[in-house]
Structure 1
């Protein structure tokens, strides 16, 4: 098996169990403005992407602009929910504790969100300053820029890194950048996901054997 020199983790749905929570808040708010979508729709269309793109998609559905304060209210409502319900993905602490190569997190979310969620889930000490956000560079998945930025910042080439992803957009970003990708399928029902990744796994603790930790 190929030995990787660096592991790059997505955040939402890979490190912290935030996908269902965050998307439910978004669904509730979108439906308050007449979108009539459900959590399955959100997980299929919004997961792993840029929040502003999701907002534009909802505006296309309701055929009008959402209020200017929609994003700010979404952040506030999701942070409130995360503060009481957010947990680390089951098994991820054991994986991080056993890793012997450098690792980092690269996420579509803003730095504040990543750091806040890692802290709430008790994972901050694993990453310190190795936190990279699409907001740092102004490019979002499926553009590979975030993973190229993270690998270069960590001092490795794409060929030396492994990306851990749970979304189709994220997997496309990594593969188009030349990275191997292990796809976490626990909450992923997208039929195209498996075709975009190097390997799939359903439980986070499977990484321990996959990476021979």
Structure 2
């Protein structure tokens, strides 16, 4: 292992790079009740942030009623279409993230998301962040493994040519933080709700993207010293 190599930074997308979570919450709060599944935007933010859409629907089906056969495909297509329109019209970058990415541009970086690749690309195009990642996008839908399964982050690291110990996960959602820790990586939890959420043991909690550069510099020093 080349201990002098910069750490590989694996960024979640929704809620970490871009402020899409509230848009997604509102879209789900609109469309799920149309299909007979009671749901609210607040419920998404409280219970389901970062969770695979199919898992959310299955959970609601177990609580309320089972969708008719083939209805899920129609529901998901409608949700994706509405979400893409909202993203292209309204999506903004997480405060401080543009400056952080610029300051960290000497590190290899990739996006690792539970969302479909089309959604990741839409987010990066809508906010002009794509050039930082040069197409290094790892979607759970493409790799067929979803956070909190650590294999999604492990597959991304391997494809980037790094060991887990050489990688830093930056994620805002509990499922992503759990996945990164289980993958044996350094994990930075971008905690937007410090009064409501705690950072798990083993992860580093920050509250603003402007803290990223200093934390990653400190991690880099520690990894080199420990090698």
Task: Please report the TM-score for the alignment, with normalisation by the length of structure 1.
Answer: 0.91
1:11-160 mapped onto 2 (5 Å cutoff) = 11-65=13-67, 67-68=71-72, 69-99=74-104, 100-160=106-166
Q: 1:48-78, CA deviations, whole angstroms, 9 ceiling, x for partnerless residues? A: 1211111112222321216330000000011
Inter-partner Cα distance in structure 2 for 1:190 and 1:34: 30
Q: 1:82-115, CA deviations, whole angstroms, 9 ceiling, x for partnerless residues? A: 1111011111111111112111110011111101
Which sections of structure 1, spanning at least 5 residues, go unmatched? none
Mark the structure with the bigger radius of gyration. Answer: 2
Q: What SS is found at the alignment partner of 1:194?
A: coil
Distance change in 2, residues 1:188/1:153 (3 Å): farther
Distance change in 2, residues 1:4/1:198 (3 Å): farther
> Match of 2:183?
177
Q: Any conservation in 2 of the 1:8–1:103 contact (CA below 8 Å)?
A: yes
Distance change in 2, residues 1:181/1:55 (3 Å): same
* Equivalences, count: 210
Q: Any conservation in 2 of the 1:171–1:197 contact (CA below 8 Å)?
A: no
Inter-partner Cα distance in structure 1 for 2:103 and 2:134: 17
Inter-partner Cα distance in structure 2 for 1:187 and 1:84: 25
Q: Any conservation in 2 of the 1:183–1:197 contact (CA below 8 Å)?
A: no
Q: Any conservation in 2 of the 1:33–1:62 contact (CA below 8 Å)?
A: no
Q: What SS is found at the alignment partner of 2:200?
A: helix
Runs of 4+ off more than 6 Å: none
